[in-house]
């Protein structure tokens, strides 16, 4: 069974002759320092391209006198989440539980043994009066060895780690950090052991080196594609762990699809259509789950605002049960899809577009020419919004205006670094319109759901349509208010 916990530590580089300071100065009253030594051998796994390490993720099998078994460490803000699994009897085959967790990070590519790290560790455990661990200071002599029968030593170094224990506080860790720094240890800004051994520098994104202000229009487009690809990969692990991440991932798919459409002349049409179809498939899976999340929160808030005497029957439970059942069903479909080949192929294709998009000759032009497709996207917003607000305009036309507004906003985001302040103003304007028309669409969808649910109350004792009717009228009012706000937005934009 996989277990997990948060890890908070500070690392230091130390010279061979460095002398660890007296740690009793930071021992809590009644506490003590416990010392010991351990040796461990860690076999690290990654793809041939080091997809895990470039994101600061490590996967290893450790043997020795402590921390034996499998460990997967994932950056989580200024901490790390560590997943542990008991030894499996082999350090050459990654357990399926851990391999599955990183399937998206590695885009389905095979894991291989990349390096072995030997560590001779002197441990200093600072304990409080109750014998609880406050901080553990580890003095490590590290040697990295290449894989294979004729393993060659790659490098060796010394480092110090100060890790916060369950009884410690940030103040305690800061005290130990200051003591080590004053004694001559240097706070390490470098990578973890395995990345240091292999000379790999972890980066926040696969394509962090891409400029947003490129020398060509293609450079600017590629940088934006890379940002969205990174968002897809970043969102994969939280989704697999059931920790959310649907909304930012869904937005990334929308931005990718918008780029393929608004800047269609800059990319190969056949390859763009194929990529767009796969993005549409994945976005649909995400959307089915996300839409239920939004509606559940919407109805819970709406019912809570009603006076208790107007809430007749188990309406809150009925709506929640209906939406939650649908959400779980769609979540299962998403989970299944994320274990399939089609999803992993989509991630690989996204990575290809982020690094080597199939550009046409137009992409070699100046970045300023991106203004033309941005303006075209803006005109489409005006077209659909005018039609939707007209005397015969319907909800569907306003929904089209909403989608056109999103595409115009994303186009302005892409071109903003090279087209300046006007694009930044447009981004905010379209964000406002998106909020207005998003509220309108949510109200329309909510009203339709209420209409369908109330039809099912006829044969249920103790239920009636009174409260459903109140909520239905509320949604119609909110839709009408949103329509008026959209009209005001259009007037200001003329």
What percentage of residues in the chain have a pLDDT greater than 70?
A: 95
3-state helix, strand, coil in the chain (%, to 5): 55, 20, 25
pLDDT higher than 80, residue 254: yes
pLDDT higher than 70, residue 205: no
pLDDT higher than 70, residue 325: yes
Domain ranges within the chain, ordered by starting residue: 3-198, 217-493
Which pLDDT score is estimated for 163?
A: 92
C-alpha to C-alpha distance for 432 and 451, rounded to whole angstroms? 29
Q: Is 6 left (phi over 0), alpha (psi -120 to 50) or beta?
A: beta
Per-residue model confidence as pLDDT tens digits over 210-231: 555 668 999 999 999 999 999 9
* Dihedral angle of Cα 230, 355, 59, 37, to the nearest 10 degrees: -100
**Of 331, 328, 304, whose CA–CA distance to 316 is shortest?**
304
Q: Cβ(14)–Cβ(185) under 8 Å?
A: yes
pLDDT band at 405 (very low <50, low <70, confident <90, very high): very high
Which pLDDT score is estimated for 187?
A: 86
Mean residue pLDDT of the chain comes to 91
Q: Cβ(408)–Cβ(378) under 8 Å?
A: yes
Superfamily of domain 3-198: Hypothetical Protein Pfu-838710-001 (2.40.320.10)
Give the CA count within 13 Å in the CB-facing half-sphere of 259.
Answer: 30
pLDDT band at 290 (very low <50, low <70, confident <90, very high): very high
Which pLDDT score is estimated for 206?
A: 44
What is the arithmetic mean of pLDDT over 74-82? 80
pLDDT higher than 80, residue 426: yes
- DSSP H/E element including 386: helix 371-389
What is the arithmetic mean of pLDDT over 28-44? 92
Q: What class, spelled out in words, does domain 217-493 have in CATH?
A: mainly alpha
Q: Is 145 left (phi over 0), alpha (psi -120 to 50) or beta?
A: beta
Q: Cβ(442)–Cβ(479) under 8 Å?
A: no
By three-state DSSP, how is residue 208 classified?
coil
C-alpha angle with apex 321: 315 to 325, nearest 5 degrees? 155
Which pLDDT score is estimated for 208?
A: 43
pLDDT higher than 60, residue 209: no
Residue 146 φ then ψ, to 5° = -70, 150
Q: Tell me which residue has tokens 């294709």.
A: 349
Which pLDDT score is estimated for 346?
A: 98
pLDDT band at 276 (very low <50, low <70, confident <90, very high): very high
Give the CA count within 13 Å in the CB-facing half-sphere of 8.
Answer: 16
Contacts of 303 (CB under 8 A, 6+ apart): 311, 315, 316, 319, 467, 471
Which pLDDT score is estimated for 203?
A: 63
Which pLDDT score is estimated for 44?
A: 94
Of residues 154 and 477, the one with the higher pLDDT is 477
- DSSP H/E element including 49: none
pLDDT higher than 70, residue 307: yes
Contacts of 158 (CB under 8 A, 6+ apart): 13, 14, 15, 16, 18, 139, 140, 141, 142
> How far from the centroid of its chain's Cα atoms is residue 202's Cα?
17
Which pLDDT score is estimated for 248?
A: 95
Give the full edge-to-edge strand order of the sheet including 69-76. Answer: 3-7, 79-85, 69-76, 58-64, 32-46, 112-127, 133-145, 153-164, 9-13, 186-187
**Of 384, 415, 418, whose CA–CA distance to 263 is shortest?**
415
Per-residue model confidence as pLDDT tens digits over 346-384: 999 999 999 999 999 999 999 999 999 999 999 999 999
**Of 459, 439, 471, 443, whose CA–CA distance to 319 is shortest?**
471
pLDDT band at 207 (very low <50, low <70, confident <90, very high): very low
What is the arithmetic mean of pLDDT over 435-452? 96
pLDDT higher than 90, residue 43: yes
By three-state DSSP, how is residue 154 classified?
strand
pLDDT band at 479 (very low <50, low <70, confident <90, very high): very high
C-alpha to C-alpha distance for 429 and 431, rounded to whole angstroms? 5
Tokens in use for 110?
A: 């095979």
């Amino acid at each position: 069974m996989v277990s997990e916990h948060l890890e908070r530590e500070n690392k230091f580089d130390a010279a061979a002759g460095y002398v660890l300071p007296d740690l009793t100065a930071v021992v809590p009253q009644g506490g003590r320092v416990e010392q010991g030594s351990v040796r461990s051998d860690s076999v690290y796994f990654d793809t041939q391209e080091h997809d895990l390490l470039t994101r600061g993720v490590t996967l290893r099998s450790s043997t020795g006198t402590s921390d034996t078994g499998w460990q997967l460490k994932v950056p989580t803000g200024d901490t790390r989440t560590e997943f542990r699994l008991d030894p499996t009897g082999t350090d050459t085959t990654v357990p399926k539980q851990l391999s599955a967790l990183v399937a998206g990070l590695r885009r389905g590519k095979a894991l291989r043994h990349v390096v072995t790290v030997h560590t001779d560790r002197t441990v200093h455990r600072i304990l409080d009066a109750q014998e609880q661990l406050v901080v553990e200071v580890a003095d490590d002599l590290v040697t990295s060895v290449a894989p294979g029968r004729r393993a060659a030593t790659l490098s060796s170094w010394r480092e110090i780690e100060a890790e916060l224990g369950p009884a410690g506080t940030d103040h305690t860790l800061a005290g130990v950090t200051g003591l080590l720094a004053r004694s001559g240890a240097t706070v390490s800004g470098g990578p973890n052991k395995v990345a240091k051994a292999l000379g790999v520098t972890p980066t926040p994104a696969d394509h962090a080196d891409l400029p947003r202000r490129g020398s060509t229009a293609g450079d600017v487009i590629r940088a934006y594609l890379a940002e969205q690809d990174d968002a897809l990969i970043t969102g994969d692990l939280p989704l697999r762990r059931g920790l959310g991440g649907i909304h930012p991932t869904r937005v990334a798919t929308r931005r990718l699809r918008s780029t393929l459409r608004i800047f269609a002349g800059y990319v190969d049409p056949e390859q763009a259509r194929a990529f767009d179809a796969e993005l549409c498939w994945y976005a649909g899976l995400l959307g089915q789950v996300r839409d239920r999340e939004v509606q559940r929160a919407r109805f819970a808030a709406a019912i809570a605002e009603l006076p208790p005497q107007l809430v007749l029957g188990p309406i809150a439970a009925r709506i929640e049960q209906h939406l939650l059942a649908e959400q779980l069903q769609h979540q299962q479909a998403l989970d299944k899809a994320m274990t399939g080949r089609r999803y992993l192929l989509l991630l690989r294709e996204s990575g290809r577009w982020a690094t080597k998009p199939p550009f046409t000759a137009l992409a070699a032009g100046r970045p300023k020419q991106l203004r033309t497709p941005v303006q075209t996207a803006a005109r489409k917003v005006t077209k659909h919004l005018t039609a939707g607000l007209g005397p015969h305009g319907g909800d569907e036309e306003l929904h089209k205006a909403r989608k056109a507004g999103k595409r115009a906003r994303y186009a302005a985001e892409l071109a903003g670094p090279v087209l300046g302040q006007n694009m930044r103003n447009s981004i905010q304007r379209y964000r406002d319109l998106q909020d207005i028309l998003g509220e309108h669409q949510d109200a329309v969808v909510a009203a339709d759901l209420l209409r369908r649910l109330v039809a099912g109350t006829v044969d249920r004792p103790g239920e009636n349509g009174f409260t459903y009717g109140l909520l239905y009228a509320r949604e119609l009012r909110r839709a009408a208010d949103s329509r008026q706000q959209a009209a005001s937005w259009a007037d200001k934009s003329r």
